[in-house]
Structure 1
Amino acid sequence: MKQLSVAVLFLLGLGSCFGDYYETQENLLNELFHKYNGNIKPAHKVNVTLSMYMRAFFEVNLIKGYMDSQVTFRQKWNDERLAYSNSAQFSDIEFLTISPGYFKKMWTPDTFFMNEIESHVFENLAPNFYIRIYPNGDVMYSRRLKLKTTCMPMWNQDNNMVKCPIMVASYGYQTKDIEYLWDVDKPLSTNKEGTFITNFEPQMDMFKTTTQTIETSTGVYNAAQAQFVFKHVINPKMYCNA
């Protein structure tokens, strides 16, 4: 009988913990989004910090002028309307992961790939992205993509090198509205086991990130670029007689 009583008390306590968890999460979502307007950007000027993880390089085709790759693309910015560090009841929440339903309510940068030919968003089992909100209002947006982007059509014949960039910018916001920055600690990382190209070798020590200002007929825009360098090689296996 004593063992049964202990088991019942344990189950009741466990149920209370789960109840507290659900209630806390629900209260935080309600507090953050009750009067939130995702049509308005969080500040007069928003700094968007970028980082990229190159999961795989599939092809570099100079005849058709493209690079085929898979990438995890991350953007981080601050939205003080979503800060909850001053609320004691939420002090135990390290970060809040947002569901797709709430994601649609949020303001996000209108970032696009300037030299994209085509792209694919992974949604097998579930959409391959997440949004995390941190106590100070920082927002992390991460998404897995397959990209086909334009490459420079000619390579440097002196060293057999070719450069293939991935370029991003805001589609509608000008420099006074959005500025792109690369993450200071780790702007670009690469899966060293993720190269499936037969005739080009990635020169990872030559990969780099930059930002620039672009002026068009509609205004001045801020842009960011990750540049990838490949060395053209001849694969002996392609020319061996059977």
Structure 2
Amino acid sequence: MNNHQNISTLLDNLLRGYDNSVRPDFGGPPAVVEVDIMVRSMGPISEVDMTYSMDCYFRQSWVDRRLAFPGDTNDTLALSISMLARIWKPDTYFYNGKQSYLHTITTPNKFVRLYQDGRVLYSSRLTIKAGCPMNLEDFPMDIQRCPLKFGSLHLL
């Protein structure tokens, strides 16, 4: 059996009986999701509708022990986008988001990597337009702070 077949068999076995609607460690402590954002570019900023835009890589990582697999501690698997639909993902929500989109040229700009211990790394390229209440009393010499607020949809 070649390596591709071995990986397909491994993934099929991992997902046998797996329920992607149930979070990791259900019934135990909350799932901890680590997030990082790499901003590719900022702008435009609109004083008229009080928004700003940013193009970024939005990365999330969590441990789902149901997806742990045997092997060396440094083993990782790059999963296909179709596999992404079959595993649990956090319900991340941008609280002050007005509009956003996932880049899809030439394919959806996202990837998933699975580590031997069950850690999942999910990365996507997004453009986010977010609201920013601005105080323009000293325009154009004012200073604005425009946070990006996000969290779990379940915590709303």
TM-score normalised by structure 2 residue count: 0.89
Aligned AA for 1:140?
L
CA–CA distance in 1 between the matches of 2:75 and 2:136? 47
Over 3 Å counting, the alpha-carbon distance change for 1:42 and 1:156 in structure 2 is farther
Aligned AA for 1:20?
N
Q: 2:56 pairs with 60, 65, 71, which one?
A: 71
**Counterpart position of 1:117:** 98
CA–CA distance in 2 between the matches of 1:94 and 1:152? 46
CA–CA distance in 2 between the matches of 1:46 and 1:156? 43
Aligned AA for 2:45?
V
Tell me how far 1:48 sits from its aligned partner.
Answer: 0.6
Tell me how far 1:125 sits from its aligned partner.
Answer: 1.2
Over 3 Å counting, the alpha-carbon distance change for 1:79 and 1:119 in structure 2 is same
Asked if structure 2 preserves the Cα contact closer than 8 Å seen for 1:81 and 1:137, the reply is yes
Over 3 Å counting, the alpha-carbon distance change for 1:36 and 1:81 in structure 2 is same
Verify: 1:23 aligned to 2:5, yes or no. yes
- Percent of matched pairs sharing the same residue: 26
Structure 1: stretches of 5+ with no match in the other structure: 1-18, 175-220, 222-242
CA–CA distance in 2 between the matches of 1:49 and 1:151? 24
Aligned AA for 2:109?
N
**Counterpart position of 2:16:** 34
CA–CA distance in 2 between the matches of 1:81 and 1:65? 44
Over 3 Å counting, the alpha-carbon distance change for 1:56 and 1:81 in structure 2 is same
Tell me how far 1:155 sits from its aligned partner.
Answer: 5.1
Over 3 Å counting, the alpha-carbon distance change for 1:170 and 1:91 in structure 2 is same
Write the mapping of 1:1-242 to structure 2, written as runs, cut at 5 A: 20-43=2-25, 44=28, 45-84=30-69, 87=70, 90-91=71-72, 94-154=75-135, 157=138, 160-172=142-154, 174=155
- Aligned positions, number: 152
Structure 2: stretches of 5+ with no match in the other structure: none
Tell me how far 1:93 sits from its aligned partner.
Answer: 6.8
Q: Deviations over 1:1-46 (max 9, x none)?
A: xxxxxxxxxxxxxxxxxx5211221122112111211011012310
Asked if structure 2 preserves the Cα contact closer than 8 Å seen for 1:62 and 1:154, the reply is no
Aligned AA for 1:116?
G
Compute the RMSD of aligned alpha carbons: 2.0
Tell me how far 1:152 sits from its aligned partner.
Answer: 2.2
SS of 1:46 mapped into structure 2: coil
SS of 1:27 mapped into structure 2: helix
Over 3 Å counting, the alpha-carbon distance change for 1:93 and 1:125 in structure 2 is farther
SS of 1:57 mapped into structure 2: strand
Over 3 Å counting, the alpha-carbon distance change for 1:95 and 1:156 in structure 2 is farther
SS of 2:148 mapped into structure 1: strand
Decide which structure has the larger Cα Rg and report it.
Answer: 1
**Segments ≥4 residues shifted beyond 4 Å:** none
**Counterpart position of 1:191:** none
Aligned AA for 1:70?
D
